[in-house]
Structure 1
Amino acid sequence: MKIRQVGTSGLQVSRMGLGTLPWGRDISRHRARELLTAFCAAGGNLVDTAAAYGAGDAEVIIGELLDDVVPREELVIATKAGFRIDRGRRVVDTSRRGLLRDLEGSLDRLGTDYVDLWQVHAWGTAPLEETLDTLDHAVRSGMARYVGICNFVGWQTAQAATWQRAVPGRAHVTSTQIEYSLLARRAEIEILPAARAFSLGCFPWSPLGRGVLSGKYRTGTPRDSRGASDNFAWFVQPYLESRPRSIVEAVARAAEGLDLTPAQVALLWVRDAPSVTAPLLGARTVQQLEECLAVEGKALPDEIARALDDVSGGPLASRPPATPRSGGDGS
């Protein structure tokens, strides 16, 4: 798998990452082993997790697989802090105390003394300077090699990046993680322009529109899908309305003409969109993962990518202009 640089930092990652949100909850240790094995065999090196995933179980599983499936030094581990579920309630705590508690717990569960990329999971109510100073501390102490942010809107992204660049010696914000797909293009309004302005890497989560762009929901909700899960039905439902369905149908038509699957078309659109570093794959089975990994070496024809731009929300302003075709008379 091709490698991409994360923004202008020295961090390099595979151009697709492996997400672990359901590990330890909907995905067993055995299945997780199969997924990580297949991902690494294809040349992938970026694994994204969080202290909140499975209440820490996802990190425990990764830790158990390190040096068994893949040597620690060959893996880029990205984790997050500052968010948790407490007795069914979502709690954001980006204070120094909360962040360091999460980081120390992550290192213990992962069985490693550092993470490659440590990310603030969400914008919180703690003073931003306190949150960012904690990122500096994590880098200075060696607990994190690089730092990033997740789910920040445009002005929050710009404020965090500017603060870290204002004084020499602060740990620069290296990356941002956002939802981005043909069904979720809001990031193009402010977040992606901010990422370009500050040379941040970008990791889209749910690049397949929470699984809907795979086409599996075109005729109903499969029993084994996230849409039928007690944990994720609420997450999928907004993308089963009429407008998302029309986009899914356009993706399916493009897939038929290209001899690809709808999931592959949707993934290629995100992977090769301007400013994207690596979409995060939330595959639940090895078959799903291998379908996604099979796009390595493929690309969407420019006219198809632009047609999908149009049908899903309009032209992508940051996409390079189309190359004019010369006429038959040489003009």
Structure 2
Amino acid sequence: MLRRNAGTSGLSTSRMGLGTMTWGRDTSKEDARGLLRAFTEAGGDLVDTAPAYARGEAERILGVLMKTEVNRDDIVVATKAGFTFRDGVRVIDTSRRALLDDLHESLRRLRTDHIDLWQVHAWGPAPLEETLAALDHAVTVGDVRYAGVSNFVGWQTASAATWQEAFPGRARIVGNQVEYSLLARRAEVEVLPAIRHFGMGFFPWSPMGRGVLTGKYRGGVPRGSRAASDHFGWYVEPYLEPRSRAVVEAVAKAADGLGITPLQVAWLWVRDAPGVTAPLLGARTAEQLAEYLAAEEMELPVPIAAALDDVSGGPNDARPAPTA
């Protein structure tokens, strides 16, 4: 599997990341084992998790698998901090205390002595300088190799990067993780320009439009899908409206013409979009993962990518223009 650096930093990862949001809930430990084994055997190494995923169970499962299935040094572990549960309610707390407590618990659950990429999960109410000081501390003491952010909009990304660059010795922000797909292109307006300006990496989450771009919902909501579940129905519903259906049909038409699947068309579009380091896929089984891995050697023709740009929101100004 080909590799990319996170912007101009020294952090190198596979150009595909394995997300674990469903681990411990919709993805069993056994299925997670099959996923991780297939992913690493194909050359993948970036595995993204968070304390908020199944209230820590995703990290616990990954920690076990890094002891029994893969070599820890062969995995780039990305996790987060700043989401916490209080009285059963998820809240954002980006204070130094909360972040470092999250880090301590992540290290324990993951059974490791360091995190490769530690990300602030969301912009929070604590002063930015306090939040970023926690990243500095974690990198300085060796608990963290690289620092990043997640779900930061453009001005937030620029604020964090500028603060860290203002004084020598602060931990550089090497990446941002934001939703990005053919159904969610808002990142192109401000986030991606900020990322390019500061030489950061970009790790899109939900590159399949929360599963809708696979085409599975073209005929309705199938039983067993995320949209049919009590805990993920709200998550998929925004992309089941008419505009999204039109984009899905365009993806399906491109797939028919290229002789590949809609999933692969949508995946190739986001994987090779300007500025992308590694999209984070949410496959729940090794069988689902196989379809992504089969696309590793594929490339989306530039005119097809440009046509999908047009139908999903307009030209991507950062994409090279198709040649005649």
The alignment's TM-score, normalised by the length of structure 1, stands at: 0.97
Deviation track 1:291-312 (CA, whole Å, cap 9, x = no partner) reads 0111111100011000000000
Q: Which amino acid aligns with 1:23?
A: W
Deviates more, 1:137-146 or 1:278-287: 278-287
Counterpart position of 1:17: 17
Counterpart position of 2:83: 83
Gap regions ≥5 residues in structure 2: none
SS in 2 for 1:221: coil
Output aligned runs, 1:5-154, within 5 Å: 5-154=5-154
SS in 2 for 1:148: strand
Output aligned runs, 1:1-331, within 5 Å: 1-323=1-323, 325=324
Give, in angstroms, the shift of residue 88 of structure 1: 4.3
SS in 2 for 1:13: strand
Deviation track 1:59-114 (CA, whole Å, cap 9, x = no partner) reads 00001001422100010000000012434423000000000010000000000010
Counterpart position of 1:328: none
Q: Is the 8 A contact 2:22 2:58 kept in 1?
A: yes
Tell me how far apart the structure 2 counterparts of residues 230 and 35 of structure 1 sit (CA, whole Å).
24
Deviation track 1:40-60 (CA, whole Å, cap 9, x = no partner) reads 111000000001111000000
Q: Percent of counterpart pairs with the same letter?
A: 66
Q: Is the 8 A contact 2:306 2:322 kept in 1?
A: no
Tell me how far apart the structure 2 counterparts of residues 86 and 3 of structure 1 sit (CA, whole Å).
39
Q: Which amino acid aligns with 1:52?
A: A
Tell me how far apart the structure 2 counterparts of residues 188 and 9 of structure 1 sit (CA, whole Å).
21
Tell me how far apart the structure 1 counterparts of residues 309 and 19 of structure 2 sit (CA, whole Å).
25
Deviation track 1:194-227 (CA, whole Å, cap 9, x = no partner) reads 0000011000000000000000000011111100
Q: Which amino acid aligns with 2:35?
A: L
Give, in angstroms, the shift of residue 288 of structure 1: 1.1
Tell me how far apart the structure 1 counterparts of residues 306 and 34 of structure 2 sit (CA, whole Å).
36
Gap regions ≥5 residues in structure 1: 326-331
Deviates more, 1:157-166 or 1:84-93: 84-93
SS in 2 for 1:268: helix
Tell me how far apart the structure 2 counterparts of residues 218 and 84 of structure 1 sit (CA, whole Å).
36
Q: Is the 8 A contact 2:150 2:178 kept in 1?
A: yes
Q: Which amino acid aligns with 1:128?
A: L
Tell me how far apart the structure 1 counterparts of residues 164 and 217 of structure 2 sit (CA, whole Å).
43
Counterpart position of 1:329: none
Q: Which amino acid aligns with 2:140?
A: R
Tell me how far apart the structure 1 counterparts of residues 90 and 105 of structure 2 sit (CA, whole Å).
18
Q: Which amino acid aligns with 2:256?
A: E
Q: Which amino acid aligns with 1:246?
A: A
Deviates more, 1:66-75 or 1:117-126: 66-75
Tell me how far apart the structure 2 counterparts of residues 108 and 95 of structure 1 sit (CA, whole Å).
20
Tell me how far apart the structure 2 counterparts of residues 214 and 87 of structure 1 sit (CA, whole Å).
37
Tell me how far apart the structure 2 counterparts of residues 285 and 34 of structure 1 sit (CA, whole Å).
7
Tell me how far apart the structure 1 counterparts of residues 238 and 289 of structure 2 sit (CA, whole Å).
24
The alignment's TM-score, normalised by the length of structure 2, stands at: 0.99
SS in 1 for 2:99: helix
Tell me how far apart the structure 2 counterparts of residues 251 and 85 of structure 1 sit (CA, whole Å).
39
Tell me how far apart the structure 2 counterparts of residues 152 and 87 of structure 1 sit (CA, whole Å).
26
Tell me how far apart the structure 2 counterparts of residues 88 and 305 of structure 1 sit (CA, whole Å).
43
Give, in angstroms, the shift of residue 175 of structure 1: 0.3
Q: Which amino acid aligns with 2:30?
A: H
Give, in angstroms, the shift of residue 259 of structure 1: 0.8
